[in-house]
């Protein structure tokens, strides 16, 4: 048994309640008047959904930070946060994806860095380099291991939500933020990790194993 959780992200609580109130008000005026507002309420409730997921924690693997589809798996010559080479897995989050982001591992957040940028379509290969982003550096709880998670905006996604700060602890699979209206999430890890996903593969935040520590 798990304790009850609201099935949508807290960032959507007020928009959902306001839209529901509008539907009720219009229905009180006249049932037909509520029809145009009802799809808007349903869209908001669906968009901000955050379904409960049972997380099978394992310190020897890295879980996907986002729902979506793997766009690319590429080597990185030098990552300033990792202070060395790495491997970057980019995940495209469409407008139909669950937009909640989850921690790939348990550990301490040692750095949170926001960078302004463009709002190019998230599926463009160069968008991940140019678009606005928020980055987290997580020191994993086991061994000398660290990973980087990037939350990147897209053409429609203009707001990044990050609920953790430097010094906070995160648990593997726990929610730490969201990106609104389709975007991109990246996981950057040391080259010693064995990547277990491929481009085009569908992944689920907190469920799909992206890589393992070798």
Q: Are strands 133-140 and 202-203 parallel, antiparallel or unpaired?
A: unpaired
Q: How far is CA 88 from the centre of its chain?
A: 15
CA–CA dist 169, 133 (Å, integer)? 21
Rg of the chain on CA atoms, in Å: 18
- What are the tens digits of pLDDT across the range 120-177? 665 566 666 778 889 999 999 887 899 999 999 866 556 788 999 999 999 999 999 9
The domain locations on the chain are: 10-47, 61-213
Highest mean pLDDT among 16-25, 112-121, 139-148: 139-148
Q: pLDDT value at position 26?
A: 85
Which residues carry out catalysis?
A: 183
Residue 180 near residue 159, CB atoms below 8 Å: yes
Thinking of the domain 61-213, which architecture would CATH place it in? Distorted Sandwich (2.70)
């Amino acid at each position: 048994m798990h304790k009850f959780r609201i099935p949508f992200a807290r960032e959507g609580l007020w928009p959902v309640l306001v839209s529901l109130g509008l539907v009720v008000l219009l229905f009180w005026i006249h049932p037909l008047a509520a029809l145009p507002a009802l799809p808007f309420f349903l869209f908001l409730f669906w968009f901000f959904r955050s379904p409960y997921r049972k997380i099978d924690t394992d310190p020897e693997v890295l879980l996907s930070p986002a729902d979506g589809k793997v766009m690319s798996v590429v080597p990185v010559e030098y990552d300033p946060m990792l202070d060395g080479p790495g491997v970057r897995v980019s995940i495209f989050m469409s407008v139909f994806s669950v937009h909640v982001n989850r921690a790939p591992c348990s550990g301490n957040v040692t750095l949170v860095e926001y960078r302004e940028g463009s709002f190019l379509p998230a599926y463009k290969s160069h968008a991940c380099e140019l678009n606005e982003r928020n980055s987290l550096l997580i020191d994993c709880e086991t061994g000398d291991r660290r990973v980087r998670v990037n939350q990147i905006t897209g053409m429609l996604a203009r707001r990044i939500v990050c609920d953790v700060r430097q010094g906070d602890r995160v648990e593997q699979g726990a929610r730490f933020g969201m990106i609104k209206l389709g975007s991109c999430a990246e996981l950057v890890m040391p080259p010693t990790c064995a990547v277990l996903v491929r481009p085009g593969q569908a992944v689920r935040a907190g469920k799909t194993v992206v890589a393992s520590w070798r």
